[in-house]
Amino acid sequence: MNSRILLLGATGYVGQAFQRVISQKGGTVVALSRSQADYTRFAPLLRVLREVKPDFLVNCAGYTGKPNVDACETHQADTILGNVNLPQTIAQACEVADLPWGQVSSGCIYAGGKVVQPDGSVAVEKDLTRPDLRRIVDSEPGRIRGFTETDTPNFSFRAPPCSFYSGTKALGEEVLHGAPGCYVWRLRIPFDEVDGMRNYLTKLQRYDRVYDNVNSVSHLTDFARACVELREVGAPFGTYNVTNPGFVTSRQVIQRIVETLKPQRQFTFWESDEEFYRVAAKTPRSNCVMDVSKLLSTGVKIRPVEEALKDALSRWIPEKK
Ligand SMILES: NC(=O)c1ccc[n+]([C@@H]2O[C@H](COP(=O)([O-])OP(=O)(O)OC[C@H]3O[C@@H](n4cnc5c(N)ncnc54)[C@H](OP(=O)(O)O)[C@@H]3O)[C@@H](O)[C@H]2O)c1
């Protein structure tokens, strides 16, 4: 790889993964933080593009809410600025500079999945925890299909209820419709082998009680590598779901954690959605299954979810106390 890549949001969780992957592939990363130049504004960003002259830009900057997505409900202006205005500003600057680029988006704009019915038709179901659907998830997983890139988001301001975060991520994709030279990469619940508060596998181990649901998830390095490789193979610009193929339930992941890491503690689960939202969460959470056929059709490879999870847990690096 012989590219010079301008990386926005390089200080963040996802940005650091891109930095590692691009460097490992022999590319040059020019990491830009708002503390060096305010890339959220058009004029300073365009100035940087003209000075740095990158071959490609990766945007990992955005507003995710700390300690979790509930914070977006109380910091709505920051959430809009980070997730809607910022991608639009980058699109405009990149169009002027004639620079191809990629935006890290999210699968959190969907809820549920598709269920193949006995007559072969397919029904969209927003809540796969419903007991009859959950039985299908557990005993006939082949009947569960994911959302494709052509499906309209069903967990957004246009299809409420949604979290404020998810609403802005869906709008952040809308403002990029028709943007030339732009990839939109959808990440979903990142995890890897490095213990840390942003890692799904760590979160599951630290929750007092676990919320059992059904999701597609993305190994963080697999995600960043697949995004970079989409450009390397010359895949058409546009939107791509970038998760490890398949889906998992939180219970299945906990079971793997228990078998592999043998933690001291016992895990308990929220009795129901109703109890989880009453006690532990302020805003609805997205849980969904994604279809990655479009990504795989480009020739870019990504491991099945079971393999990626097993590998991450077998190479687990506990956080230093
Ligand atoms: N982590 C997840 O679970 C997850 C899942 C799906 C999608 N995503 C998406 O992936 C992208 C990166 O997420 P992340 O988890 O890496 O986030 P993060 O750790 O919070 O990092 C985001 C970076 O964005 C920059 N930034 C620019 N404008 C900002 C603003 N208004 N508020 C806060 N930070 C701002 C900051 O870098 P500087 O100030 O140094 O420039 C910050 O380090 C986001 O678009 C997010 O929606 C994340």
- For ligand 1, say whether the CB of 213 is within 6 Å of any of its atoms: no
Distance 61 CA to ligand 1 centre (A): 4
pLDDT band for position 248 (cuts 50, 70, 90): very high
Distance 136 CA to ligand 1 centre (A): 35
- For ligand 1, say whether the CB of 11 is within 6 Å of any of its atoms: yes
- For ligand 1, say whether the CB of 218 is within 6 Å of any of its atoms: no
pTM beyond 0.75: yes
Q: Which residue has the higher pLDDT, 321 or 264?
A: 264
Task: State the pairing for strand pair 122-125/113-116.
Answer: antiparallel
User: Helix/strand/coil (H, E, C) string of 109-126?
Assistant: HCCEEEEECCCCCEEEEC
Predicted pLDDT of residue 279: 72
Instruction: Return the residue whose CA atom lies nearest to atom 17 of ligand 1.
Output: 12
Residue 277 has pLDDT above 80, yes or no: no
Instruction: Return the residue whose CA atom lies nearest to atom 12 of ligand 1.
Output: 60
Distance 164 CA to ligand 1 centre (A): 15
Q: Which residue has the higher pLDDT, 208 or 182?
A: 182
- Averaged pLDDT, 12-37: 97
- Averaged pLDDT, 191-217: 94
Residue 233 has pLDDT above 80, yes or no: yes
pLDDT band for position 269 (cuts 50, 70, 90): confident
- For ligand 1, say whether the CB of 210 is within 6 Å of any of its atoms: no
- For ligand 1, say whether the CB of 65 is within 6 Å of any of its atoms: no
Task: State the pairing for strand pair 144-145/113-116.
Answer: antiparallel
User: How much of the chain, in percent, has pLDDT values that exceed 70?
Assistant: 99
Closest atom of ligand 1 relative to the 16 alpha carbon: 16
- Averaged pLDDT, 88-92: 98
Residue 63 has pLDDT above 80, yes or no: yes
Closest atom of ligand 1 relative to the 34 alpha carbon: 41
- Averaged pLDDT, 121-134: 96
- For ligand 1, say whether the CB of 92 is within 6 Å of any of its atoms: no
In order of start, what are the domains of the chain with their CATH numbers? 4-314 (3.40.50.720)
Predicted pLDDT of residue 21: 98
Residue 203 has pLDDT above 90, yes or no: yes
- For ligand 1, say whether the CB of 308 is within 6 Å of any of its atoms: no
- For ligand 1, say whether the CB of 167 is within 6 Å of any of its atoms: no
- For ligand 1, say whether the CB of 60 is within 6 Å of any of its atoms: yes
Strand order of the β-sheet with 4-8 is 28-32, 4-8, 56-59, 101-106, 182-187, 238-241
Q: Spell 275-307 as b/e; 16+ CB within 10 A means b.
A: ebeeeebebbbbbbbbbbebbeeeebebeebee
